[in-house]
């Protein structure tokens, strides 16, 4: 399998263990995906599994945790109903600045329930603005957090605050289809190790400080005028597999490419994908500007279409009872053989081999 579409089995196992620690049966959560927590725990932790399946598992886990009627402190509540309703409000905005103002108002309204929020500091006369993310970990209300024995427990403040800030950086990029360039990022929590530092440094791509007196990142004011390019259809795809998008960002997948894939993801149902010029119009830019952006990010529109076909093929192969011929037709391949050859090029396995390997974990 290719590393850009997989995560280690250990990531699945850690999520299952977290669910156990907070009193949720992982077997129940994993059942819709035909996954066995016991079998996953028994395999090599470095064995690579589809990241799309992890994204679906994560959302199922959050939906189950919501039933405990406690706020989700990790990653700005990704996967929760509150996160979904906020995103639906954001895409109604015209610019990033308007979207962040809506987010601030939404979080202020929902604060008693979600215990986290963002605020935008814009003096109006400075070329820089600051987005702050706060999460109330000292509230008297119970918060879903694993006991100290869970490996992430003792790092709770750092993980909660850093992951929330990283999510907001990703959301800004997804909304605008443009990488949000930062001048600095500050984490209001202790440094906990090189692995997290390296991950955050890759995401933020700017000077990073821990043990700060605020939890924020700073960027050029001009970004507030960037147009929102997402719509209801692309939001639906984003919400279905939000964690997939966030993991892509962690691995330095370009914002423009992710935005394009979200925008065209539902076009397969109509039988044809938009042309390059049509995509440029969706992104509110000229064809030449989009071409320069993609060249700078080292990707092409054809490559993005192939990646999307790959992702959809894997999803349908693992989660829908479809024959190879049906998937090939849905993805507009000339014949099943062409699809099988392309799939093997993407994953190193035939569709049957890929499906059987994953079913061994059910």
Residue with tokens 């799309």, as numbered in its chain: 52
CATH of domain 254-359: 1.10.10.60
What is the distance of C-alpha 310 from the center of its chain? 17
Mean pLDDT to the nearest integer, 292-319:
87
For residue 124, what are the contacts with CB-CB under 8 A and spacing of at least 6? none
CA angle, corner 216, sides to 229 and 92, nearest 5?
25
* pLDDT more than 70, % of the chain: 90
Give just the sign of the alpha carbon dihedral 55, 61, 64, 68.
negative
Please give the Cα distance from 329 to 270 (Å, whole number). Answer: 12
Please give the Cα distance from 89 to 74 (Å, whole number). Answer: 21
Give just the sign of the alpha carbon dihedral 282, 288, 289, 292.
positive
Domain spans of the chain?
A: 69-225, 254-359
Contact 324, 340 (CB under 8 A): yes
Taking the model in full, what pTM does it have? 0.80
What is the distance of C-alpha 191 from the center of its chain? 24
pLDDT in tens, 91-110: 999 999 999 999 999 999 99
Q: Which of 55-69, 130-144, 246-260 has the lowest mean pLDDT?
A: 246-260
What pLDDT score was predicted for residue 2?
44
In eight-state DSSP terms, residue 228 is P
């Amino acid at each position: 399998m290719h590393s850009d579409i997989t995560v280690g089995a250990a990531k699945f196992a850690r999520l299952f263990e977290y669910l156990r620690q907070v009193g949720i049966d992982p077997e129940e959560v994993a059942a819709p995906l035909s996954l066995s927590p016991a079998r996953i725990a028994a395999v090599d932790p470095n064995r690579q599994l589809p990241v799309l399946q992890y994204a679906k598992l994560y959302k199922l886990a959050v939906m189950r945790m919501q039933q405990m009627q406690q706020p989700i402190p990790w990653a700005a509540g990704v996967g929760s109903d509150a996160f979904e309703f906020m995103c639906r409000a954001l895409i109604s905005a015209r610019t990033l600045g308007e979207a962040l103002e809506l987010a601030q108002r939404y979080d202020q309204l929902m604060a008693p329930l979600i215990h986290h929020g963002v605020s935008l500091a814009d003096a109006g006369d400075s070329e820089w603005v600051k987005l702050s993310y706060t999460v109330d970990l000292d509230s008297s209300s119970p918060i879903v957090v694993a006991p100290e024995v869970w490996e992430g427990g003792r790092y709770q403040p750092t993980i909660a605050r850093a992951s929330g800030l990283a999510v907001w950086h990703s959301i800004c990029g997804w909304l605008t289809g443009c990488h949000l360039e930062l001048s600095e990022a500050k984490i209001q929590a202790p440094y906990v190790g090189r692995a997290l530092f390296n991950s955050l440094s890759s995401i933020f791509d700017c000077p990073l400080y821990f043990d700060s007196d605020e939890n924020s990142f700073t960027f050029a004011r001009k970004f507030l005028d960037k147009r929102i390019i997402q719509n209801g259809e692309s939001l639906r795809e984003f919400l279905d597999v939000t964690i997939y998008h966030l993991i892509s960002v962690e691995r330095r997948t370009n914002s423009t490419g992710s935005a394009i894939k979200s925008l065209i993801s539902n076009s397969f149902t109509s039988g044809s994908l938009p042309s390059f010029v049509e995509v440029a119009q969706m992104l509110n830019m000229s064809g030449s500007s989009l071409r320069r952006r993609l060249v700078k990010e080292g990707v092409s529109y054809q490559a993005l279409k192939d990646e999307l076909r790959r992702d959809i093929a894997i999803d349908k192969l693992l989660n829908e009872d479809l024959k190879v011929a049906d998937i090939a037709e849905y993805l507009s391949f000339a014949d099943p053989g062409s699809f099988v050859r392309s799939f093997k090029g993407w994953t190193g396995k035939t569709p049957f081999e890929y499906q059987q390997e994953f079913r061994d974990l059910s």
